[in-house]
Amino acid sequence: MSRRILIIGLGLIGGSLALAIKKGYPETIITGYDIDSQATKLANSLQIIDEKASSIAEEAPLADVIILSTPVESSIHILTELQSLPLKQGCLITDVGSTKQTVVEKGRQLCGKGVYFIGGHPMAGSHKTGVEASRERLFENAFYILTPSEEVPTSKMIQLQNILKATKAKFIELDPETHDRFSGLISHLPHIIASALVHQVAKVGEKEPLVSQLAAGGFRDVTRIASASPSMWRDILLHNRDLLLPMLSDWKDIMNDVEQMIHEEDEEKIYAFFSDAKQVRDQLPSKKKGALMPFYDLFVDVPDHPGVISDVTAILAEANISITNIRIIEAREDIMGVLRLSFRSEEDLTLAKAILLEHMYDTYEAP
C-alpha cells in the first residue's frame, strides 16, 4: 500500500518538498492543499502533487505524513484543527516554520493521541516565490533542522528523516529554544536591521529624493533580505519575541559603543571594530546554505557595444542556465561595463563562468 503524504501550503517550500519526495519515492502519493485554490490547481497541473485535497478535514485522516508548509501562525491554527480529526495512528506531522517553540508546544498536544509532531525548519529558499518556482534540488546540501519534543520516540525521528532524506539536506537536531536563539541571531535580527535601514533611507528620501536614486546600488544589495514576506516576518517576530528583545538590546549597546568611538574620535577602537569584524566575517563558510540565502553572483566585464547584454543572456540561455537577477553596475560610453549576474546555485555559477570564458568574456566573483 502506497504511503500518502499531505502537504498543506503549496508555495516554494511546500512544492519543492513535494518534488524532492516524489523523486526519491515515486510510489508515494503526494496530496496537496492550499487555502488558495488556484495554487492547488497549478501544483496539480505542473504535476508537483499527485492529487488535490478539497479540505484538510477530508484528507488529513487518510494521510500517513502531514507537512505544514505555512507561516507559523497558520500552522498553529491547523494543528488545532488536526486535534479534532480522526488521524491515523502513528501519523507523522511536521512543519517548516522559522520559529519552533510555539509550534512545537502546540504539536505536543497531539502526541498523546498516537500521533507524533516533529518541528522542522529547512534552511533554504529562493529569490522566486510561489509553487511555480518549486525545485526538487532546493534543499540539497542545506541545513534541515529538526526539533522533536521529549514525547517523540527515536523510531519516529528516523522515520521522518528517511522520508526527508530525499531532499539531500543535512539534518541537525536541536531543542526548540536553541533553534530559535540561533535563528534569531543569524536570520531574524539581520532582517530587522535591514528593514530598519530601508526605513531610514525612505524617511530621508521624502525630503531629498536623490538619496533614493543613490541607494539603487550597493545599499540595495546590502538590504536585499528586507524584500521578504511581511506576514511571515510579522509572525516570526511575534513568536520569537522573548529571544529577540534581548538581542535587540545587545545590538543597541553595540551601536552606542560605535557612537561613543566616533564622538571621541578614537582611531584605534574604530579601526579594531572594522578589523575584528572583517576577520570574523572572512572566516565564515563561503557559498554555504544557511539561515540566510546565499547569493551566487558573477561579475562580467562587457564592452560598450549595442546588444552585448542580450549576447550574454543568450549564451547562458542556450546552456539552460537560469539567471535570477541581472544588474548593470557600470556602463559609460567608451569604457568597459560590468554586469552582475545572480544564479540560484553554485553549480550554475561555475558553469556560467566556464561558458562565458569560452566566449572570451572576463568574469570574476566577489571575495
Lowest mean pLDDT among 20-29, 123-132, 268-277: 123-132
CB burial of 56-78 (b: ≥16 within 10 Å; e: otherwise) equals: beebbeebbbbbbbbbbbbbbeb
Average pLDDT over residues 236-261: 95
Average pLDDT over residues 279-292: 68
Strand order in the sheet with 29-33: 51-52, 29-33, 4-8, 65-68, 92-95, 116-122, 143-148, 170-173
The overall pTM is greater than 0.85: no
pLDDT in tens, 324-335: 778 776 544 444
Average pLDDT over residues 247-273: 96
User: In the chain, what are the domains?
Assistant: 4-174 (3.40.50.720), 179-282 (1.10.3660.10), 296-365 (3.30.2130.10)
- CB–CB of 118/93 below 8 Å? yes
pLDDT in tens, 165-178: 999 999 999 999 99
* Pairwise CA distance, residues 8 & 137, whole Å: 20
Residue 1: the pLDDT is 57
Residue owning grid cell 528583545: 245
Q: Is the pLDDT of residue 285 over 90?
A: no
Residue that wins the pLDDT comparison between 224 and 78: 78
- pLDDT, the chain, mean: 88
**Which H or E run contains 106?**
helix 101-107
* Pairwise CA distance, residues 255 & 197, whole Å: 13
* Pairwise CA distance, residues 328 & 256, whole Å: 37
- CB–CB of 145/174 below 8 Å? yes
Residue 28: the pLDDT is 95
